[in-house]
Each structure stands twice: as C-alpha cells, then as structure tokens.
C-alpha cells in the first residue's frame, strides 16, 4: 500500500514530474467515462461515510471493510452460481438475475457488518460518553480487526477473478465509446443515490436522520428514538457499500482481497470530504470528481501510481479554498 | 390524582448533586412556574421530567403511572413535550418541517393537519415563514417555532424552559399571552422563567428553587406579595 503513495521511490527516474498533456488529450473521452464509472462507485461508498458522519460526527474508518465484506459476498455468490474467469455462457436475462442475486448478498453482507460494528463497537462507547478520539481510534482498530480476520481465517490472497459479462459498446459519444458495463454502473449508482436523497428528504426515518444530525437532544424530546436512527444510518450506508461492491467486482475482478477496501475507502472518504462531508449530493459530486481526476493522472503523469497523490493534492487544494467542501454541509448541524 | 408528581427526586451530574429530593405536583389545567436564580436546577428539573436525565433516587408519576424509567423518546407519546432551553430549532429544516418534528410519533394525519392550523392561528408569523429554514429565523421567531413544535405533539403537559429568554418586551408579552391561550385551550403548562414578575402574574401556582431544593411554594399572587421573593427575584428592595 505504501508503494502506491511513494511512486518516485520505485521508478527511480530523474524526470518524475513531467506532464504529458498529449497523452491525456488523446485519451480524454475514455478516461473521462471510465473515471465517471469509478466515481459512481466511490460515490456510493462515500455516502456511508457521509451519513454516519452527519449523524454521529464520527469518521467510520471501518466502512472500507464494510465494503470489502460485501465484495466477498458478491464474489462468493457468483462463484457458487458458476461464474469464473471467462465470460459466462448465459443469456442477458439469466445474467441480470444472477448479478441481482449477488448484489443482494453483497448488500446483506455489508449491511450486517455495518450494523454489527455499530452495535458491538460504537454503541458501548456512546453509553459511556467516550471522548471523540476514542471513537476514532476504535474505528481504525475495527478496520484492522476485520482486515486481519479475513487474512487469518480466510486467505491472504486475492479471490480468483470472476467475469460477469463482456462489455459491449452501447453508443458513441463523438468518438468515445460507452460500453454496457460503464452504463450499467453509472445509471445504477445514480438511481440509487437519487433514491437515498429522496428517502432522507421525505421518509419518516429520513426526517429522523436529519433531526438527529442537527440536534440529537431535541430530537429525543420530539420522540425520535435516536438509537434506532443511528442503526438505520449504518444500515443504509452498508446497503449502499454492498451495492458498490458488485460494481467494484465488475470493474476490478481481481480486487477482492483482505486489504482491498483500504484504497477504495480512502478514495471514497476523500470524495465525501471533497463534496462536503455530511452532504448527500456532495458525495455524488465528490465521487465523480475524484473518479475522473484519479483516472486522468496516469495519462498525464505516465504512471498509475500517481493517482493517489493527485487525488489528495486536489483534495487539499479544494479544502484550502473551500474548507466546507464543494457543496458544504446540509445534513448536519453546521448549517446555520 | 395529580397530572404530574415528583416524589423526592434527586439528580446528579457525576458526583455533583443538582437536585436534592424535589417533591411537587402539577394539577391538570394549571399553569405552574418554577423560578430561581441561575444554576438553581430549573433546567435540570425539566430535563428530568422529559427524561433526558434520570433521577438518582425518587420517582416521577404522570397520570398516576410511574414514568421514572420510561425512555425519553416515548414520553411525547404519553403526553409530555418540552420546548427546550435555547430553543433547539433544527437549523437545516424549514419552519414547517420543524413543526412536523413535534408530531414525529403521531400517526393521525387528520389530527396533525388540524394542529398545523391551530399553531398557525396562534403564531401567524410562522405561517408567513413556513418555508424559511429554522436556522435563519430571528431569536424571537425561533422561540415561537419551539413552542409551536411542542404543541404539535398535542401534549397534556407542556414544558417550557425560559420561553422569554433573550426577547424584547413586546415579544415577551406576546409569548405570555399565547401561553395563557394555550392553557385556556386545555393544555397544562409547567413554566421555567427568569422573568419572575410575568411568570408569577400568569401562573396559578409557583415554586421557588434554590440550589436544587424548593424553598417556597404558593399561588402566583402569594409569592408576588412575599417580601423575600420581591427582594430576590422581582428586583424590588
Ligand atoms: N451537564 C452538566 N454537568 C455538570 N453539571 C451540570 C450540568 N448541567 C448543569 N449542571 C449544574 O447543575 C446545576 C443546575 O443547573 P441547571 O441548568 O439546572 O440550572 P438552571 O436553574 O436552569 O439555570 P439557568 O437559569 O442559568 O438556566 C448548576 O450548578 C449547573 O452548573
Ligand atoms: Mg436553565
């Protein structure tokens, strides 16, 4: 993981910061579309960070493992259904059904993990009024516990890759081909995010989530069961991470490994902060921006190891100018 | 049977005891006020009744039922709703959404709609500002939101913690007028006030709280005439 953050140490080249604009421009279309696809995945995971932060003011570092557990759920289900490294010999209908099933298992796995982490790790701390820092350290600890539980009790290696379907070109956007995989991921993610946005705005649970985020004590006085709301928040974040896990396995078939959530979680967390942590639409915007930027970096700088550096450089620059993130915070209490 | 009874209620913050064996009742239909200096324990008493704090000893009954152990979020459903000190308006929700939060536990849609009409009649200003964000309302307007929101729970007992705090004199008069109106419509009110003069004039009975104990009790008129009260709380030497 460190090597990804220290690209110069590996390449050993002397001209380590030269911009290859031509490479970027000639690949601009595909790099953008693929960036948006990854961005949609980041955005779904970012929502989990943002919702929990909005309600508890807690950065749930274990969310990256909530996500990777979902990815294991997805890949186990697909393997059990007969999927493997080569494209399945199935019609489109059965493929969709199988993928839906895998997604549901992934969502259940992630949701269960998120809810368990909340009940076993965070709730006892809340009962004792633990200081903020204790929650943070616990979150990091839980993240490592889950990673190394997978490492020790399951495997230290990546799961064998699974191919869900062969992407087919769908339409041509001025020379840039958009394929069925990219289209599926972007549309599904955006639809899910709109659904969550509406749910938070309109449903009773959504009103409770916003109320607890803005003023927990007063919410209780109004009859809101804040423990139930907190649990619902973790559950929603988990469901979205599980859905993201299906799309992640679709894009990165060999990426299901015990520490595979780390980097993706970092990107998603960056997306949440970039968009304005606690802000649902911010997570979408932040995810898409991070996805595109991290996809431009390899072309511009000639080495994929630069992606992380560029993502976090942009994050820092944006936060210097707009500390509240691109869209600011709306779920939580800082909105005046 | 009294609507609300506190029997020998003590409350601690960690090791610090804030209430020392408080005993008092509120009868149905009354306006009762609690007056006392800063730090006397008025807010602590209110939070204990609404359940945000638990007594270390003693018990609380409401309509004859022991509610000492009832979770705070279930108390609005029993008929107890508090407008908290410092208003607690949800800043990122519109005025209408804030009011809706008062009815969070209710399912009677028709009754809720009736109550929106009722509170908008009591506070026409809120009707004008229905879609404004709570956080952008003025201090006095937020106080109206907090009272109106508590009314949306259709409480039998309304707890008001310093409804006149930080308000200009004409607002204070208006708030007390509305409190009287709410009471006339059948809601029992327990009121905490620094503004002892107004509070005593407007309540049936009152208690004086000093460092966590009740030191005087009586009708509003009696306490207003009490020389010690005059000196300590009414600013008359
Ligand atoms: N969270 C807390 N932790 C420790 N002590 C507290 C806490 N809240 C209140 N107290 C103490 O309990 C006592 C009673 O406080 P309370 O807020 O009930 O006073 P009050 O009568 O409402 O005062 P005010 O008129 O200033 O609102 C005070 O001495 C206060 O310092
Ligand atoms: Mg007080």
CB contact under 8 A, B101 and A220: no
Given the structure tokens 């890759």, which residue do they identify? Answer: A161
Alpha-carbon distance of A34 to A38, in angstroms, equals: 6
Q: Residue A20: what pLDDT?
A: 83
Q: Residues with Cβ < 8 Å from A253, sequence gap 6 or more?
A: A85, A161, A162, A163
Half-sphere exposure of B163 (CA within 13 A, CB side): 29
- E-assigned strand segments in B176-212: 188-193, 205-210
Angle of the A63-80 helix axis to the A226-251 helix axis, nearest 10: 50
Atom of ligand 1 nearest to the CA of B47: 18
**Residues ≥6 apart with Cβ < 8 Å to B12:** B18, B56
Report helix angle A280-301 to A28-56, nearest 10.
140
User: Cα(B13) to centroid of ligand 1, in Å?
Assistant: 9
Burial (CB < 10 A; 0-12, 13-18, 19+), residue A318, is: middle
The pLDDT, as a whole number, for residue A330 is 63
Residue ID of nearest Cα to ligand 1 atom 27? B38
Within 6 A (CB) of ligand 1 lie: B 13, 16, 18, 36, 38-44, 85
Residues 6+ apart with CB under 8 A from A318: A274, A325, A326
**Inside any domain, residue A315:** no
Tell me how close the Cα of B102 comes to any Cα of chain A, in angstroms.
5
Residue of B209, B215, B172 lying closest to B190 (CA atoms): B209
B26 phi and psi angles, rounded to 5 deg: -125, 125
* Contact between chains at B97 and A220 (C-beta distance less than 8 A): no
Task: Measure B156 CA to ligand 2 centroid, in angstroms.
Answer: 22
Interface of B with A in 84-123 (CB under 8 A): 84, 88, 90-93, 97, 100-102, 104-105
- The total number of structural domains that make up chain A: 1
Chain A residues inside the 8 Å CB shell of B136: 336
DSSP code, position B171: H
Q: Cβ of B135 and A336 within 8 Å?
A: yes
CA distance A109 to A48: 15
Would you say residue A279 lies in a domain?
A: no
* Domain membership flag for residue A9: no
| Proximal ligand: closest to the CA of B85 | 2
Q: Note the pLDDT of residue A6.
A: 41
Contact between residue A146 and residue A61 where contact means Cβ atoms under 8 Å apart:
no
Our CA-based measurement puts residue A60 at a distance from the nearest CA of chain B, in whole angstroms, of: 23
Q: Tokens representing A279?
A: 């802000």
Q: How far is the CA of B194 from the centre of ligand 1 (A)?
A: 14
Residue to mutate (ligand 1; options B9, B16, B19, B54; most atoms within 8 A of CB): B16
Closest Cα to residue A50, out of A41, A60, A40? A60
Respond yes or no on whether ipTM tops 0.85: yes
DSSP state of B29: T
* Site to substitute for ligand 1 among B17, B37, B44, B191, most atoms within 8 A of C-beta: B44
Residues 216 to 235 of A: which have CB under 8 A from any B CB? 217-226
DSSP letters, A134-161, are HHHHHHHHHHHHHHHHHHHHT-SSPPPP
Of A215, A220, A226, the CB nearest to B90: A215
- Between the CA atoms of A302, A303, A309 and A315, what dihedral angle is there, to the nearest 10 degrees? 60
Residues (pLDDT < 70) of chain B are 236-237
Distance CA B44, CA B23 (A): 14
Query: Which pLDDT tens digit goes with each residue over A276-321?
Result: 988 889 999 999 999 999 999 888 887 777 788 888 888 888 888 8
Span from the CA of B173 to the centroid of ligand 1 (angstroms)? 27
* B79 and chain A in contact, CB less than 8 A: no
Residue A217 Cα to ligand 2 midpoint, Å, equals 15
Q: Which residues form the domain of A88?
A: 43-272
Pairwise CA distance, residues A24 & B96, whole Å: 50
Which sequence spans correspond to the domains of chain B?
2-79+158-234, 91-154
Burial class (CB in 10 A: 0-12, 13-18, 19+), A251: middle
Q: Specify whether the CB–CB gap between B145 and B126 falls below 8 A.
A: yes
Is the Cβ–Cβ distance between A193 and A280 less than 8 Å? yes
**∠ at Cα A124 (A121, A126), nearest 5°?**
105
- pLDDT for B172 equals 87
pLDDT for A331: 62
Q: Which of B36, B40, B191, B195 is the best mutation target for the ligand 1 pocket, counting ligand atoms within 8 Å of the beta carbon and taking the most?
A: B40
The span from the first CA to the last CA of chain B, in angstroms, equals: 39
Listed residue (B139, B138, B141) closest to B99, CA to CA:
B141
User: Is A282 inside a domain boundary?
Assistant: no
**CA B42 to CA B196: how far, in whole Å?**
13
pLDDT at position A302 is: 78
Residue A64 counted as domain residue: yes
Nearest CA in chain B to A217: B52
CA B135 and chain centroid, separation: 21
Any CB–CB contact under 8 A between A203 and chain B? Answer: no
Q: CA end-to-end span of chain A, whole Å?
A: 40
Sign of torsion, CA A148 A152 A153 A155?
Answer: positive
Atom of ligand 1 nearest to the CA of B194: 25
pLDDT of residue A7: 43
- Tally A–B CB contacts below 8 A: 73
The predicted-structure confidence for A95-148, as pLDDT tens digits, reads as follows: 999 999 999 999 999 999 999 999 999 999 999 999 989 999 999 999 999 999
The whole-angstrom separation of Cα A35 and Cα A44 is 14
Query: pLDDT per position in chain A (336 positions), as tens?
Result: 333 444 444 444 445 567 788 888 888 899 999 999 999 999 999 999 999 999 998 999 999 999 999 999 999 999 999 999 888 888 899 999 999 999 999 999 999 999 999 999 999 999 999 998 999 999 999 999 999 999 999 999 999 999 999 999 999 988 899 999 999 999 999 999 999 999 999 999 999 999 999 999 999 999 999 999 999 999 999 999 999 999 999 999 999 999 999 999 999 999 999 999 888 899 999 999 999 999 998 888 877 777 888 888 888 888 888 888 888 766 654 433
- The pLDDT value recorded for residue A3 is 38
Closest C-alpha to A229, from A210, A255, A256: A210
Q: For the structural domain made of B2-79+158-234, what CATH number should be given? A: 3.40.50.300
- A12 in any annotated domain: no
Question: Of all atoms in ligand 1, which is nearest to the CA of residue B41?
Answer: 18
Residue B13: the pLDDT is: 96
């Amino acid at each position: 993981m460190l090597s990804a953050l220290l690209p110069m140490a590996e390449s050993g080249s002397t001209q380590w910061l030269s911009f290859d604009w031509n490479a970027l421009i000639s690949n601009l279309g595909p790099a953008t579309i693929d960036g948006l696809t990854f961005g949609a995945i980041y955005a779904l995971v970012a929502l989990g960070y943002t919702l929990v932060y909005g309600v508890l003011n807690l950065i749930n570092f274990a969310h990256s493992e909530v996500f990777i557990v979902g990815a294991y759920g997805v890949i186990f289900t697909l393997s059990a259904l007969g999927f493997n490294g080569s494209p399945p010999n199935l019609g489109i209908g059965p493929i969709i059904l199988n993928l839906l099933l895998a997604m549901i298992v992934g969502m259940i796995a992630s949701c269960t993990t998120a809810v368990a982490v909340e009940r076993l790790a965070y709730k006892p701390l809340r009962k004792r009024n633990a200081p903020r820092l204790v929650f943070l350290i616990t979150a990091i600890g839980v993240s490592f516990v889950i990673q190394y539980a997978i490492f020790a009790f399951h495997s230290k290696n990546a799961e064998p890759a699974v191919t869900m379907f062969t992407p087919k070109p769908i339409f041509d956007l001025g020379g840039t081909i958009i394929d069925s995989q990219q289209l599926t991921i972007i549309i599904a993610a955006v639809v899910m995010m709109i659904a969550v946005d509406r749910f938070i705005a309109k449903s009773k649970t959504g009103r409770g989530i916003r109320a607890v985020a803005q003023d927990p004590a007063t919410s209780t006085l109004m009859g809101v069961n804040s423990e139930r709301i907190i649990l619902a928040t973790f559950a929603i974040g988990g469901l979205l991470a599980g859905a993201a896990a299906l799309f992640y396995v679709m894009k990165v078939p060999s990426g299901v490994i015990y520490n595979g959530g780390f980097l993706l979680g970092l990107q998603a967390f960056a997306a949440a902060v970039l968009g304005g942590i606690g802000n649902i639409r911010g997570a979408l915007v932040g995810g898409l921006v991070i996805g595109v930027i991290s996809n431009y970096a390899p072309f511009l700088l000639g080495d994929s190891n630069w992606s992380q550096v560029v993502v976090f450089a942009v994050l820092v620059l944006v936060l210097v100018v707009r500390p509240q993130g691109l869209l600011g915070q709306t779920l939580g209490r800082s909105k005046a | 049977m009294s609507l609300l009874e506190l029997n020998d209620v003590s409350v601690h913050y960690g090791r610090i005891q804030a209430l020392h064996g408080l005993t008092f009742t509120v009868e149905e239909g009354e306006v009762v006020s609690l007056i006392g200096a800063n730090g006397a324990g008025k807010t602590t008493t209110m939070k204990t009744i609404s359940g945000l704090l638990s007594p270390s000893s003693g018990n609380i009954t409401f309509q004859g039922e022991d509610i000492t152990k009832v979770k705070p979020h279930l108390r609005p459903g029993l008929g107890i709703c508090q407008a908290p000190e410092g208003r607690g308006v949800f800043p990122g929700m519109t005025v209408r959404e804030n009011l809706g939060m008062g009815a969070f536990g209710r399912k009677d849609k028709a009754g809720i709609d009736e109550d929106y009409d009722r509170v908008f009649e009591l506070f026409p200003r809120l009707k004008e500002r229905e879609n404004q964000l709570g956080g952008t309302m003025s201090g006095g307007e937020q106080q109206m939101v907090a009272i109106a929101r508590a009314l949306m729970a259709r409480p039998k007992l309304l707890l008001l913690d310093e409804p006149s705090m930080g308000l200009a004199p004409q607002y204070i008069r208006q708030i007390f007028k509305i409190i009287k109106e709410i009471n006339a419509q059948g809601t029992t009110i327990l009121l905490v006030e620094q503004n002892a003069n107004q509070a005593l004039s407007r309540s049936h009975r009152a208690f004086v709280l000093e460092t966590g104990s009740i030191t005087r009790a009586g009708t509003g008129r009696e306490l207003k005439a009490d020389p010690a009260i005059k000196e300590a709380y009414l600013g008359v030497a």
